[in-house]
Amino acid sequence: YEEAVQLDPANVQARLGLARVYRRLNRPDEALAQAEEAAALASAPDEAAGAYLVQGLIYADQNDPVQAEARFARAMEAAPDNGWYALYRGQALFAAGQPDEGLAVFNKALELTDDDARFYRQLGQFLAGRGQWEWVTRIYEQALAEGITDDADIYQGLGDAYKALADHQKALVNYRHAANLNSARTPEPQ
């Protein structure tokens, strides 16, 4: 990526790739510089949103949820139809001590991304980690209502949430669904 940026300093994708590599190498200042330059050079909203996302992730890595949230908000402004940016912004709001605002942003994210099991899993796991069990049940029940019924992790997470809420009957039903889906995927030993 460094060579690509040297050959074409206006290459937004090369700068974003370089920012991601620097982030993984724990070189946040260099990563942020590349992501900021990518945002400045971006000619399309999706490019700008991607640059703001990387900036937000860098700030989140540095435990700066306020700056992370601001960058994720800019990503949402640049690409308002992308629920993933809203997911990251909601997480940053939680980290900044603003759970009500975070939950409101999660609602927006759910409106935008209703058919991706990965999205529901990530959001459910995040909320479970914060003990937001009512929300976890809502998230996973919505996934099922949207037709995502072949994902064992959704049922497992739902079972965990109902268990935490002391609704053992519903927990057991969901654990059974998860076990059935897992056994259907697991090949028989030979």
Give the whole-angstrom CA distance, residue 121 versus residue 98.
22
What are 19-33's pLDDT values in tens digits?
Answer: 999 999 999 999 999
Domains plus CATH for the chain?
1-112 (1.25.40.10), 114-185 (1.25.40.10)
pLDDT score at 59: 96
What are 57-86's pLDDT values in tens digits?
Answer: 999 999 999 999 999 999 999 999 998 899
Q: Are 84 and 95 within 8 A, CB to CB?
A: no
pLDDT score at 145: 92
Eight-state DSSP code of residue 115:
S
Mean pLDDT of the chain: 92
What are 97-136's pLDDT values in tens digits?
Answer: 898 898 889 888 888 876 788 889 988 998 999 899 999 9
Give the whole-angstrom CA distance, residue 89 versus residue 101.
10
pLDDT score at 183: 86
Residue indicated by tokens 């200042």: 29
Q: pLDDT grade, residue 182 (50/70/90)?
A: confident
pTM of the model: 0.78
